[in-house]
């Protein structure tokens, strides 16, 4: 069974306060985007014919995880797909299984790639073994893995709040618009990103986003991480400004960075100077 974990963008991201548990309260709108990678679930008895292409392989109990493409840091204890399998094992008696991931999405990019891998792995396991899991149970399990993992279970636009794990549906529809995502080869850790922000109340209610024309978002919809990260990493502000020069209706950094995106009425042309950067252009 093959599934295709996709990314998300944050449209606005406000850091509204520090929590007693050490996390931060945030407000953001998360929107799914079609840039994806591939994850395959197979029975352990199926032979692997791509040994020469293996980037890494880790095994834990009845699950073996093999990755290709971009190197994935960490070990079995931090591997999100393995953690999903073991949490599911607490509910079901699962057989041995192999998980293969062709990692093509940049890491530390603010796109939620790892969270998507976890959610799509859970759905693949559910469907492959015909497990009886409700949407509520699936999202509860995924919340243990990471704050934005539950988003990818339903993969629909939401208003996210709390520490990012509380979500409400939002009637935002960008169908027909084009999007360009550019990752300027710069990984920013979540710890570094949060170190520079000063929590404050949001100046705009993102739950009202769909009532504001996209052309006006630039004046009211902000990512708080930009204020602290742009002075340190000038390339981020440069890319964002150039996205606007290409004709974007709205441009922003997503998550805690460092991917920048722009939303357009028509298909944008990627500048030649960005060809070497991981990027994606497609319809929303």
Token pair for 184:
């300027």
Among candidate residues 148, 165, 224, 240, the one labeled active-site is 148
- The CA–CA distances, whole Å, from 219 to 82, 196, 199, 222, 224 equal 43, 22, 20, 8, 14
Bridge partner residues of 158 (DSSP):
30, 169
Among candidate residues 8, 103, 139, 240, the one labeled active-site is 8
The CA distance from 93 to 40, in Å, is 20
The CA distance from 217 to 122, in Å, is 35
The CA distance from 160 to 76, in Å, is 29
The CA distance from 191 to 228, in Å, is 13
Look-up: residue for tokens 């990984």? 187
Clarify whether 8 is annotated catalytic: yes
Torsion of Cα atoms, 91 then 96 then 97 then 98, to 10° = 140
Clarify whether 43 is annotated catalytic: no
Look-up: residue for tokens 């190197």? 71
Task: Name the E strands within the chain.
Answer: 2-3, 6-18, 24-36, 38-43, 54-60, 63-69, 97-103, 158-161, 166-169, 178-182, 250-253, 260-264, 279-283
Catalytically annotated residues = 8, 148
């Amino acid at each position: 069974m093959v599934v295709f974990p996709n990314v998300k963008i944050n449209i606005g991201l406000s850091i509204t306060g520090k929590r007693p548990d050490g996390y931060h309260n945030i407000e953001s709108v998360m929107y799914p985007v079609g840039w994806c990678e591939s994850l395959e679930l197979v029975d352990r008895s199926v032979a692997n014919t791509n040994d020469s292409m293996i980037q890494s392989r880790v095994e834990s109990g009845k699950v073996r995880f093999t990755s290709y493409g971009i190197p994935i840091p960490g070990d079995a204890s931090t591997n999100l797909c393995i953690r999903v399998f073991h949490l599911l094992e607490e509910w079901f008696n699962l057989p041995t299984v192999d998980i293969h991931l062709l990692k093509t999405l940049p890491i530390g990019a603010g796109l939620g790639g790892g969270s998507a891998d976890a959610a799509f792995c859970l759905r693949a396991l559910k469907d492959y073994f015909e497990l009886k899991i409700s949407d509520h149970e699936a999202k509860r399990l995924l919340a243990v893995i990471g704050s934005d993992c539950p988003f990818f279970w339903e993969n629909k636009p939401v208003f996210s709040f709390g520490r990012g794990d509380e979500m409400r549906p939002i009637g935002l529809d960008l169908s027909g618009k084009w999007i360009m995502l550019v990752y300027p080869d710069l990984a920013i850790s979540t710890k570094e990103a949060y170190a520079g922000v000063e929590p404050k109340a949001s100046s705009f209610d993102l739950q009202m986003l769909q009532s504001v024309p996209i052309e006006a978002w630039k004046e009211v919809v902000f990512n708080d991480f930009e204020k602290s990260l742009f002075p340190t990493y000038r390339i981020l502000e440069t890319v964002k400004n150039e996205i606007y020069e290409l004709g974007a209706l709205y441009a922003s950094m997503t998550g805690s960075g460092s991917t920048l995106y722009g939303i357009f009425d028509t298909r944008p042309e990627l500048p030649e100077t960005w060809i070497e950067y991981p990027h994606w252009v497609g319809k929303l």
